Amino acid sequence: MMGGGGSNLELVAVSADGKQILPPADLIAVGAELPKNTAVQQSGEMIVSLSLNPYPPSAGQPSQFDVALTDLNGNPIDDSSISLDLTMPSIWMPPNQPDMQFVSDGKYSTTAPFTMRGGWRIEVIITRGDQKQSVFFDVGL
């Protein structure tokens, strides 16, 4: 990953071009501290949260991906289908695109491996009706 001070191992919300996005202002306003394994961003009228377990993830080992969707009032969004696209921005990787399963109360989950060490981009692809949108998160192994 680029930048000073070494590689970024943290899970962070990013834009499509990899610039870090800070958590929504209302989370900061109430002083909420996100767990290290969780990143959050706003996308249109949704708040999208991604958590990884175990954290930090290990190359070649299964990681659990948990996505929570809420509207701007904190109500769960249960009518979406979600898939992931796990890529490494610095090198070509074969497709790694697991579908997520709906759990309950706006929560979706799947398990997939990060196949090697390095910087990973996690694209969360959310489909609601005929609307499709993506949010992005970066993590380093």
Please tell me the predicted confidence (pLDDT) of residue 30. 56
> Confidence band (pLDDT; 50, 70, 90) for 139?
very high
Query: Can you give the length of the chain in residues?
Result: 141
Please tell me the predicted confidence (pLDDT) of residue 31. 55
Mean pLDDT of 6-31: 77
pLDDT above 70 as % of the chain: 89
| Cα 92 to chain centroid, rounded | 20
Domain 12-140 classified CATH 2.60.40.1930?
yes
DSSP string, 71-106: ETTS-B--S-EEEEEEEBTTB------PBPEEEETT
Write out pLDDT tens, residues 108-135.
999 999 999 999 999 999 999 999 999 9
Give the chain's mean pLDDT.
Answer: 89
